[in-house]
Chain A
Amino acid sequence: MRSEEINPNDPMFLVSRNLDGELTGAEQSRLAKLLSESPEMRREAEKYCELNEALKSFGCSMPDVDFGDFSDRVRQSLGSSEDDAQLVEVDQAIQSWASKPVVFDEERFTAGVLEQIGESRSSTSRSRSILFRIGMPFAAAAAVALVWIGGFRNEHQPRRVADVQIGGIERVATHISHGNTRLASVVSFDRTPVETDRSTRSGGISLSFVGSLRAELTSSEVAPPL
């Protein structure tokens, strides 16, 4: 309905507005005059008045509602929407993924480590010499570490193979001083082997899991005479 359809001169509109106490002095005078001149309009005005009272009474009638838990129900609805349900599913999936025991093919892992070591061994004679010297203890350390990692897995879970792949081995530091060689390498995994900062040692090599996606291997031993 557009505002231009409003007819402010409709006499009954005056009656309606009078019920709401909105008439100006001039409008009240005009209405009084109209009512005094028309018994029919006076009867209608009385009916409007009755209707208004009935509407007020109608407004007081309402079935009992238990509002005690209404806000709780609204709150529950906020937490059970489709969107939220999807988020909950994602969250559960992440939790499930995170709690999945890390079980992998230890032999393959060790072989991969050795293979990577073999490749880097050929790069320089010096590194070949060092890597050759540490190769075996390194592999042993890796094997020990893998056994040690296996200790973290849930014993009730069936063992599965090849969940973890070696992403690569990168030598990050070699330091020689006073006849001692320290070598640090990083073994990258395609997923978290274990979240811990524990370390293990074997044959002069320590293997520390320092982050979620890498393990750092360090070797400390007397360098061979050059």
Chain B
Amino acid sequence: MAKATDATAQMEVDDVVLARDGDAEAFSRLVRSYQRRAVSVAYRLLSNIEDATDVAQDAFVRAYRNLGQLEDPTRFGPWLMRVVSNLSLNYRRSRAAKKAYSLDELAGDGTEGDGGIDRLESKADLNVSPQSEELHAAISAGMERLPDKQRLALILFSVEGMAQKEVAEILECSVELVKWNVFQARKKLREMLDSFL
């Protein structure tokens, strides 16, 4: 089993090296290996599957063009997930800015601060009913309110099941800080989802 894993890892490294030299077919194999995880992470961060697939696709394209910056081919996975995470967060920010602007426009006051985002994601909006579908919607809405690092740590570790070391590599922080961020995220979500738990 370990040998098979090693062989798979070596094949991936070979594909990274080939792709770095411009072999698109080798890169296609890497896409097929990581597409589910990439789309999944983007979806957890964006809560919209169309946006998630677009961002994940963009992440792969950027990864291909910047493969030369990846010093260690064995770290392709975490490196790719960092690209996916960063692009997703950037996309969220631009989307939120547009959304807030739109809501402000609708409100007609044009002021900043207590924008519509907070109103939409208030605790009252989360407390719908204790059904699992609604619970998932509430988790998703609660995630939206977490700070980026806490949200990412929770999604990558608790939702996607990645190893803490890998999450630390993606977040570019220590493993201890990953644990702490996961704890902080749990603590806040626990408060936000009080009526569901």
Asked if B57 lies at the interface with its beta carbon under 8 angstroms from chain A, I say yes
Instruction: Give, as a whole number of angstroms, the nearest-CB distance from A175 to chain B.
Output: 51
| A-chain residues with CB within 8 Å of residue B91 when the two chains form the complex | none
**A62 and B57 contact, CB distance less than 8 A:** no
> Are A67 and B183 CB-contacts (below 8 A) given A3-B177, A62-B43?
no
B138-169 vs A, Cβ < 8 Å mask (1 yes, 0 no):
01100000000100001001111100100000
Q: Which of A12, A58, A61 has the most CB of B within 10 A?
A: A58
Contact B36 A67 (CB under 8 A): yes
Distance, CA A56 to CA B174, complexed state (A): 24
* CB of B28 closer than 8 Å to a CB of A: yes
Which residues of A from 9 to 53 have beta carbons under 8 Å from B? 10, 12-13, 16-17, 20, 22, 44, 47-48, 50-52
Mark out the residues of chain B between 149 and 197 whose CB falls within 8 Å of any chain A CB in the assembled complex: 149, 154, 157-161, 164, 174, 176-177, 179-183, 186-187, 189-190, 193, 196-197
Residues of the A chain whose Cβ atoms lie less than 8 Å from the Cβ of B16: none
User: Within 8 Å of chain B (Cβ to Cβ): is A85?
Assistant: no
Find residues 56-83 in chain A having any chain B CB closer than 8 Å to their own CB.
Answer: 56-59, 61-63, 65, 67, 70-71, 73-75, 77-78, 81
Number of chain B residues whose Cβ lies closer than 8 Å to a Cβ of chain A: 47
A59 touches B161 (CB 8 A): yes
Contacts of B186 in A (CB 8 A): 16, 48, 51-52
Check A51 against B49 for contact (C-beta < 8 Å).
no
Say which residue of A12, A56, A57, A71 sits within 8 Å of B35 (CB atoms). A71
Determine if A61 and B193 form an interchain contact, defined as CB atoms under 8 angstroms apart.
no
Cβ–Cβ < 8 Å partners of B160 in chain A: 59
**How far apart are the CA atoms of A62 and B35 in the complex, in Å?**
14
Residues of B within 8 A of A47 (CB): 190, 197
Asked, given contacts A74-B61, A78-B24, whether A62 binds B187 with beta carbons under 8 Å apart, the answer is no
What residues of chain A lie closer than 8 Å to B24, measured between beta carbons? 75, 78
For B186, the closest partner residue in chain A by CB is A16
Residues of A contacting B139 in the complex (Cβ-Cβ under 8 angstroms): 54-55, 58
19 A-B contact pairs sorted by A residue (CB < 8 Å): A1-B149, A1-B181, A3-B174, A3-B177, A13-B183, A16-B187, A22-B179, A44-B190, A54-B139, A55-B158, A56-B158, A59-B158, A59-B160, A67-B36, A70-B57, A71-B32, A74-B28, A74-B60, A77-B60
Point out residues on A near B: beta carbons under 8 Å. 1, 3, 5-6, 10, 12-13, 16-17, 20, 22, 44, 47-48, 50-52, 54-59, 61-63, 65, 67, 70-71, 73-75, 77-78, 81
